[in-house]
Amino acid sequence: MIDKLAELPMHNEQVTQTTAPSFFKLGACLIYEALVVIALSLAVTTIFVLSLGEATTGIKRYSLQLFLWLTVGVYFVWCWQRKGQTLAMQTWQLKLLNQEAQLLPLKAAIFRYILASLSLMVFGVGFLWAIIDRDRLFLHDRLLKNKIIYAPRKRASPHPPSKT
């Protein structure tokens, strides 16, 4: 029974486990996520600046900002839609699902990214919402009826059963 709960869907299979992650795991995942976004942003900015020159003023500055936001958005949306997990979420064994316990469709993933971005623009209030939410959901997940669950990796048995 426990083994069945720990199994995770590869695509849009039903998930039976609904354990909310701890605040520690959520916080650690957010910190790790920030590091991934910083690294991605540095790489994208380097490509942008090498291609188009400095981007400190004028239209180039706004173009770079939009390009960064879109690039980070593609990363998140692609990860959420493909596996329900970003690199940080895989490390901390967290998974994003919709109310039917399935991976987010493209439209829902895009809308989640937009709402999460807006949340960051208002001092992260939507992320801090998890502190008071009974299910430890971020505000954008509460509004969109998504959930982040603790999804431990399926462990292989140390010794395969013998056929004797």
Asked if the structure places residue 3 within a domain, the reply is: no
28 Cα distance to chain centroid: 13
Instruction: Tell me if 60 sits within 8 A of 53, measured CB to CB.
Output: yes
Asked if the structure places residue 43 within a domain, the reply is: yes
Asked if the structure places residue 46 within a domain, the reply is: yes
Asked if the structure places residue 24 within a domain, the reply is: yes
Asked if the structure places residue 79 within a domain, the reply is: yes
* pLDDT above 70 coverage of the chain, percent: 84
Asked if the structure places residue 160 within a domain, the reply is: no
Which structural domain, as residue segments, surrounds residue 121?
A: 20-150
What is each CA distance from 113 to 15, 74, 85, 160, in whole angstroms? 23, 9, 14, 42
Contacting residues for 153 by C-beta, under 8 A, at least 6 apart = 6, 8, 93
pLDDT score of 155: 75
Count Cβ atoms below 10 Å from residue 92 Cβ, excluding itself.
Answer: 24
The tokens for 8 are 């995770």
Segment 34-45 shows an average pLDDT of 98
pLDDT score of 19: 81
Question: Is residue 31's pLDDT more than 90?
Answer: yes
Domain count for the chain, please give it. 1
Instruction: Tell me if 106 sits within 8 A of 77, measured CB to CB.
Output: yes
pLDDT-derived band at 154, boundaries 50, 70, 90: confident
Asked if the structure places residue 60 within a domain, the reply is: yes
Model pTM score? 0.82
What radius of gyration, in Å, describes the C-alpha atoms of the chain? 19
pLDDT score of 14: 45
Segment 57-73 shows an average pLDDT of 97
pLDDT-derived band at 17, boundaries 50, 70, 90: low
Asked if the structure places residue 126 within a domain, the reply is: yes
Q: Over the stretch 105-148, which tens digit does the pLDDT of each residue have? A: 999 999 999 999 999 999 999 999 999 999 999 999 999 999 99
d(CA 51, CA 112) in angstroms, rounded, equals 31
